[in-house]
Structure 1
Amino acid sequence: MTTISSKCASTIQQEVIFPVSPSRIYEALTDATLFSEVMGGSPTETSTESSGTFSCFGGMVVGKNIELRPNKRIIQAWRIKDWEEGVYSLVKFELEEQGEGTRLTLSHTGFPEDQSEHLSKGWHINYWEPLKQFFA
């Protein structure tokens, strides 16, 4: 059974601007080969369908796609593998064209209370910085 954690200390909200189109960011987040390349070669498996599963960073992060709207939105039930079995958080990526680039807005909710600082830093280190370097 999959449940979104109700022990949520806070919501992580982050905004990042990338110098590429929403379609490139969407592809980087949903295409297993490209995601792996962007993130330094870590094993990745993804489904490009709503209700499909994903696994990234060698299985450290796993989950299920809830909604995929190409070039606009990705919503996932998302978990780190060592969380309590069956506990998922909710991750939402909103993509908005901004000039010649993309504004990505992240909303991450429903994670275990003690994970807020770790996850907040992790988004920057493991997602935003590699994406910025790749698309520089």
Structure 2
Amino acid sequence: MSQTLEVRPVQQTVELSGPPEAVYTALMDAQQHAAFTGLDAEIDAREGGAFATCGGRNSGYTLVLVPGRRIVQAWRHRDWPEHHYSVATFDLAPMGRGTRLIFTQMGVPADGYAWLDEDWRTMYWGPLARYLAMRRRG
């Protein structure tokens, strides 16, 4: 008999100083992704395309792409149980001259929730905000 994995969702809203198209591109372009995280990224930016980010720590497949508006991915961390994927959704909406990013990640193993919730804030949203602000200043 297999044991059921306890999961919980990560839900975060972030306000970024760049248009939705710039946020979308930074998340889906391997070079820009590596530039803002400081870690290697390989991203096939097509529906069904594979990705590996943060030096291979995170990997998965892109399920839905709506340029400038939405990214949905089957996403996993290398330390999770084998074959366990979450579903990560990045919804982008214009907000003045910036973007409101609503992030939801369903199916996160409960024992990894705390560090993952914090890592999205410190490894992604903070560096992404700085990256976008730097690009705007040119």
TM-score (norm 2): 0.90
Counterpart residue type for residue 20 of structure 1: G
Query: Secondary structure of 2:48's match?
Result: coil
2:123 is aligned to 126
CA–CA separation in structure 2 for the residues paired with 1:83 and 1:73: 25
Counterpart residue type for residue 81 of structure 1: R
2:29 is aligned to 31
Query: Secondary structure of 2:82's match?
Result: coil
In structure 2, stretches of 5+ residues that fail to align are 134-138
| Count of residue correspondences | 130
Counterpart residue type for residue 88 of structure 1: Y
Correspondent of 1:68 among 65, 69, 82: 65
2:96 is aligned to 99
1:3 is aligned to none
Contact 1:9 1:112 (C-alpha < 8 Å) held by counterparts: yes
CA–CA separation in structure 2 for the residues paired with 1:19 and 1:28: 13
Counterpart residue type for residue 134 of structure 1: Y
2:56 is aligned to 59
2:9 is aligned to 11
Query: Secondary structure of 2:8's match?
Result: coil
Higher Cα Rg: structure 1 or 2? 2
- Name the Cα RMSD after superposition: 1.1
- Deviation, structure 1 residue 8: 4.4
- Percent identical across equivalent pairs? 35
In structure 1, stretches of 5+ residues that fail to align are 1-5
1:79 is aligned to 76
CA–CA separation in structure 1 for the residues paired with 2:34 and 2:22: 14
